[in-house]
Structure 1
Amino acid sequence: MMQRRAFLATLAASLTPRLTWADVGAPAFLAAGKQGEDFFLHGLTARGESLFQLPLPGRGHAAAAHPKMAEAVAFARRPGTFALVIDCATGETRHRLTPPDGMQFNGHGAYTLDGTLLMTSEVVAETSEGRIGLWDTARYSRLTDWPSHGIGPHEIKRLADGRLAVANGGIQTDPVDRAKLNIPDMRPNLTLLSAEGALLDQIELADLRQNSIRHLALHGDTIAFAMQWEGDPAEPVPQLGLWTPGSAAVLCAPPEAEAFTMQGYAGSIATTAERILITSPRGGALMLFDTGGSHRATHHRPDLCGAAASGDAFTVTDGNGAIWSASDDALTPLTANPTQWDNHLVALT
C-alpha cells in the first residue's frame, strides 16, 4: 500500500504544471543573504529589487538556476552541508541533495542547457580530491561523478556547446574547519571537460602556483578566471586571467599604482560583451578590464563581492545590503535593504 501511495504521489508531481521564470516575475539574478539571524535565497530584478525571498537552513553561497523552470539549487557555503532544490514559485523545497559518503559539496553547480542534468562541484572530504557530481533532474537522483582533475574544485561553468570549465583551486582543506593544509605545495589548475566528462585541456600557473583559481565567467570561447593569492602578501600578483583552450593563459595586471588594491583576493567575476569585472570584498573594490585584459577602471566600496551581468550592464552587491550598477565611469546605487548579501550574484541566462 505504501509503495502504491508513493508511486501515485510521484505520478501526481510529474503531472503538475511547472512554472517558468517568467511566471515568477522574470528575475534577472539569484542571491543568498542574511537578515538578522536568518538566511534566504532571493530572486532579484535587474535593478536589485527582490521578487521573492525563500528561507535557507544556513548560510548560502551560490545557486544554480534551472534554464527553463522556476527552480533553483541553493548551495551551502563550503564545505557543503546542504544543496536544496527549491521551487521558486511556491517556496517548496522539492529535494535535499546529499553527496555520497565521504564527499562534500563545494559551493557551486551548473545545469546542462536542456536542464536534464545538474552538475555539482564536490570534494572527497579527507583529501580535497575534486569530483563533479551528476544528477538526473527528473527526480534529482545521483547518476555518477567524474574526476575534476585537480584539488579543491570550486566554480564550474557550462559552455554553450556542453563542455564544462572547472576551477580547481588547488587547496586541500580540513573537512571540518576549512583550515588550509597544503599552501606550500598547492597546484591550482583550470580544466576543460567534454560533455561526457573526458579531460580535453588543462592549464596550470607554474610561476604563480599559490594563486588559487576560484571563479569563472565566459566570454565566447574564452574563460575568464578570478584568483586568490595564498603566497607572500607583499608580492603583487594579478587576480584576473583569460584562457582560450588550446592556447596559453593571459594574466591581466592592473596599473602598478593599484597593484595592491585587491589585496590579493578576487571574490567574484562577470563579463559583458566588452568588459570583465572582478570584485574584492577584502580590498573593498572592483576593477573593470576590457576583454583583452587591459585595466579600465577601479571603484571602491566596502565589502563588494557579488557580481553578474545583465545584457551590457554589471550589477554588484555588498555585505552591507546595497546593490550597485557598475560601469567604467561610476559605481551607481540601485537599491538598499536589510539583507547582508553573500559572495555571489547568479545571472539567469
Structure 2
Amino acid sequence: MTTRRTFLASLLAASASPAVGWAAVGNPSYVAAAKLPDGSYMLAGLREDGTEAFRVPLPARGHAACAHPERAEAVGFARRPGSYALVVDCRDGAVLHRLTPPEDRQLNGHGTFSQDGALLYTAEQRVEDSEGVIGIWDTEANYSRIGEFASHGVGPHDLRIMPDGKTLVIANGGIKTDRWDRTKLNIDSMRPNLSYLDADGMLLEQHEIPEFAQNSIRHLALRPDGLVGFAMQWEGEPGMAPPLLGLHRRGETPLLCEAPLADELAMDGYAGSVAFSGTGDEIAITSPRGGRLHRFDDEGQFLGAVSRADVCGLAAHDSGYLASDGLGGIQLVTADTATPLTRTEAAWDNHLIRLRS
C-alpha cells in the first residue's frame, strides 16, 4: 500500500534522478526537419556520418529546431508564420509540450536555449505590425511562458546565445508581413539589423548596413570566440548581386564578404543557411536557389564554391561541414569537395542544427 510518506519519497527520488541525456538516443550530433514522401513531416536526429539516430513526427512543416544542452529534448519550430513549437522526447517521440504563443504573436521558425538549459528563447513578431518580440519560456516549469521583450527590430528570425552565456544576438530581418501569410509589405523601407541584448532585453549594440538596406539579415552562426556570421537574402531589384554573408565582432563595424561577380550572381540573391567549419577557420553559406555552397575564410576572403542541387542545411563537422538538400541527401563538405554520405526518402528542410560544438 502506498502511503503519503512513501509517495513523497518516490517523488523526491524521481526529482533527484539525472535527466536522460543524448547518449540514450544514439548520441546524435544534429537535428533537422524534413518532409516525407507521404506528405507528413518529421524531426530527425543525425549522427556525424549522416545516419539517423531517431525520428519523431511533426504536425506541419518544420523549419529549424534547437536541442536542450543536457536532456534528450528537442524543440521543433513551425515555418514562419508559425503557430506551434513542439518539445519532443527524442527517446520515443512523445510530445512533452506544445508551445503556443499569445494570440497576437507569431513564431518565426527559430529558438535557442540558455546556456544552462533553464530557459528557451523564441523569435516572434506581433501580428499587427511585425515588430519583433523574444518570448521567454521556463523549461523547468513545463515550458511555461514567463515573459518577453522587444527584439529591437522588425521580423526577427534567428537568434543565439553568445559565448558569455548572458547576451543574445538577434537577426532582425526587417521585413513586415501581412497578418497571416508571407506577403512582404515594406520592401522599400525595410531596415534589417543585427542586435545584441542582455538577459533583460536591454539593447547593448545594434548594426545596420545602410548601403544594402534591402538585404534581409536572416540566419546566424557563432564561433566560440564570439565572432558572428550572418547570412542575408536580397529583397531588392532582381539581377543584383549583393554580398550575402557578413562577419561581426562586438564593438566593430560589420564586414561584408564578397564573392566574385559570377559566383555572387549564381547564388540568386539568397543565402539559406550559414555555419562555421569544424575547425572554425572558415565559414560557408548555402543557396538552394543557386544550388551552391560558398566558402570564405574568417577574414571574409572567398575560398571557393561547391555545387549541389537544392542544398540548404549546413552545420559544422569535425572534417569541415555537413550539408543537407531537398532531395534527401546528406553530404560531407571538405575544401571544394562534397562527398555523399546518405540519402533518405525525404526532403530535408532549410536547416541542420548541431547539438554540441
State the TM bucket, normalised to the shorter chain: over 0.9
1:21-32 counterparts in 2 under 5 A? Answer: 21-32=22-33
Task: Determine if contact 1:123/1:130 at 8 Å carries over to the other structure.
Answer: yes
Aligned twin of 1:212: 216
1:3 maps to: none
TM-score if structure 1 supplies the norm length? 0.95
Structure 1 distance, partners of 2:29, 2:114, is 19
**Structure 2 residue aligned with 1:86, among 82, 85, 88?**
88
Range that drifts further, 254-263 or 143-152: 254-263
Mapped to 1, the partners of 2:249 and 2:240 lie a distance apart of 27
Letter in 2 for 1:293: G
Query: What TM-score does the superposition give when structure 2 sets the normalisation length?
Result: 0.93
Mapped to 2, the partners of 1:137 and 1:346 lie a distance apart of 20
Comparing 141-150 and 248-257, the one that deviates more: 248-257
Cα separation, 2, equivalents of 1:75 and 1:285: 25
Partner of 2:172: 168
- From 325, 328, 332, give the equivalent of 1:318: 325
Moved over 6 A (4+): 9-13
Q: Give 1:155's match in structure 2, choosing from 151, 158, 162.
A: 158
Counterpart in the other structure of 1:4: none
Matches within 5 A, 1:1-349: 14=15, 18-36=19-37, 37-138=39-140, 139-162=142-165, 163-219=167-223, 220-272=225-277, 273-349=280-356
SS in 2 for 1:118: strand
Contact preservation (8 Å) 1:41, 1:56: yes
Distance 2:83 2:17 in 1: 29
Deviates more, 1:307-316 or 1:55-64: 307-316
Deviation at 1:175, TM superposition (A): 2.5
1:49 maps to a residue whose letter is T
Alpha-carbon contact 1:28-1:310 (below 8 Å) kept:
no
**d(CA) in 2 for partners of 1:170, 1:288:** 26
Runs of 5+ unmatched residues, structure 2 = 1-7
Q: Deviations over 1:37-80 (max 9, x none)?
A: 11000000011101111000000000010000000110000101
Note if contact 2:113-2:120 (Cα within 8 Å) is conserved in structure 1.
Answer: yes
The question of whether the paired residues in 2 share the 8 Å contact of 1:266 and 1:279 is answered with: yes
RMSD of Structure 2 on Structure 1 (CA): 1.8
Structure 1: state its 5+ residue gaps: 1-6
- Flag the 1:11–1:109 CA change in 2: closer, same or farther, 3 A: farther
Counterpart contact for 1:65–1:348, Cα < 8 Å = yes
CA distance in 2, matches of 1:177, 1:153: 16
TM-fit CA distance, 1:261: 1.4
Identity %: 51
CA distance in 2, matches of 1:10, 1:341: 41
Number of aligned residue pairs: 343
> How far apart in 2 are the matches of 1:268 and 1:300?
15
1:101 Cα shift?
1.9
